[in-house]
Amino acid sequence: MAQAKKALVKTSRKQNGRSAPRASVKSYNNYIGGKWVPSESGEVSENMNPADTRDTIGRFPLSTSEDVNAAVNAAQEAFDRWRHTPAPRRAEILFRLGEILIRNKDTFTADMTREMGKVLKEAGGDVQEAIDCTYYTAGEGRRLHGFTTPAEMPDKFAMCVRQPVGLCGLITPWNFPMAIPSWKLIPALICGNTVVLKPAEDTPLSTYNLVKACEEAGIPPGVVNLVTGYGEPAGAAMTNHPALRLISFTGSTETGRQVASACAERNAICSLEMGGKNAIIIMDDADIDLAIEGALWGAFGTSGQRCTASSRLIVHKKVYKKFSQQLVERTEDLRIGNGADPKTDVGPVINAAAVEKIMGYIDIGQNEDGAALACGGKRLTRGDYANGYFIEPTVFTDVAPDMRIAQEEIFGPVTSVIPANSLADAVKIANGVRYGLSAAIYTRDVNRAFHAMNEMYTGICYVNASTIGAEVHLPFGGTKATGNGHREAGTQVLDIFSEWKSIYVDYSGKLQRAQIDEVKL
Ligand code: NDP
């Protein structure tokens, strides 16, 4: 790998104000046109371990519009060759990519825990999701189905085929640093597009690992281009770039809105996966022990930093007291620590800004009239926690549905228990937020389960399971402020990364005018 130009190191959001050991910090580069190159400016930022910010993982380029331009040019150059490569051949390369990901799963998992903080088991799940997505989507290389349909005139054939969109810009967040890039990258590639990929500045290593694997699999130069760096300027340079026909974005609703506006200005296609405020309903007939397991996993897995996190637990009043007590006891037993320690249940949050935001919401919750801080609520700063971003898993009880902690996405280990009078009341509360990603209900009554499945206005719904657990062969995405109508994963993602072309073949040998000529029977 080429060495970065004279590195000008800028402060990363993960920086804790403490100095990192300077020796042997590896430098990484952008991947443009099949070459690993430093950013034009030579500026880099340091990627740190959120469990211990003295541990510097590597230096990554801080890219600007110049780097984005170079990456887009490379994608343009590669596009014709790649789209003319038959889809089953593209698939063969992607199957090779799947094998490489499997071979490196343990290394990629450890890298991810180190840079993102989630516990090893969950990081392994993130890598596995990329593997699943790669195999499932590569299989589409021999399908990519279009359709035929009768034409309204005689001796005329009608069919519909998929064509690639063109050059795609992919912008991804830090919480699933390999899974989410793969959800976008692999479908884009199987459809014949070329891409520029920008991962979150906080977690570039996992995406670097994915792109490095693409290189090893033999994806031709220029088909996949990686630029690292901040949303401003690198991400914004992508959303404004006239040659990027599509921007696929996952991140916060606020940034998504900016991305959508920039795309609207230049008539680019834009698919958005954004925030959530997901609810589990626990009915009075539920298996409470099972519901507690689901609530703990949903609320505190990945330290609550999942778009599908169970940040609201809506509990029928008849079991409210029992559920709340049990939940608090179990939450207090969770082990907080470095995700690399197999005994850890809850790892750190991503960076100092996240600590500030989450602690801000804990303050807000404590000041909301009626809500009770039932457990947690503190940042841990001593001993093993001194150099990381650790927050206690936190439960608020007696939360009213309209309180800010019950309405806004906190994206941390904080959940709110909300009492409900009936199923109808619970569903109304579940739907009463601006987001619509995932929802769940615990009940033993099939009628209640179906009522909830039908009435909860979300893109994903679970029965007797937490709000977390999507599988790659089903569509993923949400309603309202969570998305803009698209779905990733499943075969539905192909509708993002390909466009339909309707083709009419008239073999009558004469002019036939649809809607005008009368067809004689
Ligand atoms: P952000 O919106 O802050 O960032 C997402 C990505 O956008 C990052 O790569 C970021 O770069 C980039 N970005 C920031 N500003 C701009 C800009 N002006 N133009 C273009 N790109 C920009 O989200 P987070 O990374 O904090 O991720 C957390 C959010 O993602 C949560 O709201 C969560 O719910 C949501 N999410 C949604 C999912 C879904 O499928 N619905 C799945 C996972 C997460 P950088 O960070 O490097 O500055």
307 given a catalytic annotation? yes
263 given a catalytic annotation? no
Q: Is the pTM of this model over 0.85?
A: yes
Q: Of the candidates 142, 330, 176, 163, which has an alpha carbon nearest to the alpha carbon of residue 250?
A: 176
Fold of 37-145+167-274+486-493: Aldehyde Dehydrogenase; Chain A, domain 1 (3.40.605)
Exactly one of 133, 168, 307, 461 is catalytic; name it: 307
Counting from 1 in the atom list of ligand 1, the atom nearest the Cα of 476 is: 40
Condensed to tens digits (0 to 9), the pLDDT of residues 253-294 reads 999 999 999 999 999 999 999 999 999 999 999 999 999 999
Q: Of the candidates 441, 430, 439, 427, which has an alpha carbon nearest to the alpha carbon of residue 407?
A: 430
User: For the chain, which residues make up each domain, given as ranges?
Assistant: 37-145+167-274+486-493, 279-463
Strand duo 167-171 + 246-250: pairing = parallel
Q: To 10 degrees, the CA torsion angle through 43, 75, 127, 46?
A: 0
Is the pLDDT at 11 greater than 90? The verdict is: no
Q: What is the 3-state secondary structure (H, E, C) of 200-221?
A: CCCCHHHHHHHHHHHHHHCCCC
Spell out which residues line ligand 1, taking CB within 6 angstroms: 171-176, 198, 200-201, 230-232, 235-236, 239, 250-252, 255, 258-259, 273-276, 307, 409, 411, 437, 478, 482
Q: Which of 126, 175, 308, 410 to mutate to test the pocket of ligand 1 (most atoms within 8 A of CB)?
A: 175
Q: Which of 65, 252, 306, 311 to mutate to test the pocket of ligand 1 (most atoms within 8 A of CB)?
A: 252
Rounded distance between C-alpha atoms, residue 343 and residue 331, angstroms: 15
Condensed to tens digits (0 to 9), the pLDDT of residues 331-383 reads 999 999 999 999 999 999 999 999 999 999 999 999 999 999 999 999 999 99
Counting from 1 in the atom list of ligand 1, the atom nearest the Cα of 173 is: 25
Q: Whose Cα sits closest to atom 16 in ligand 1?
A: 231
pLDDT bracket for residue 22 (50, 70, 90): low
Is the pLDDT at 21 greater than 70? The verdict is: no
DSSP 61: E
CATH superfamily placement of domain 279-463? Aldehyde Dehydrogenase; Chain A, domain 2 (3.40.309.10)
Q: What are phi and psi of 462, to 5 degrees?
A: -120, 145
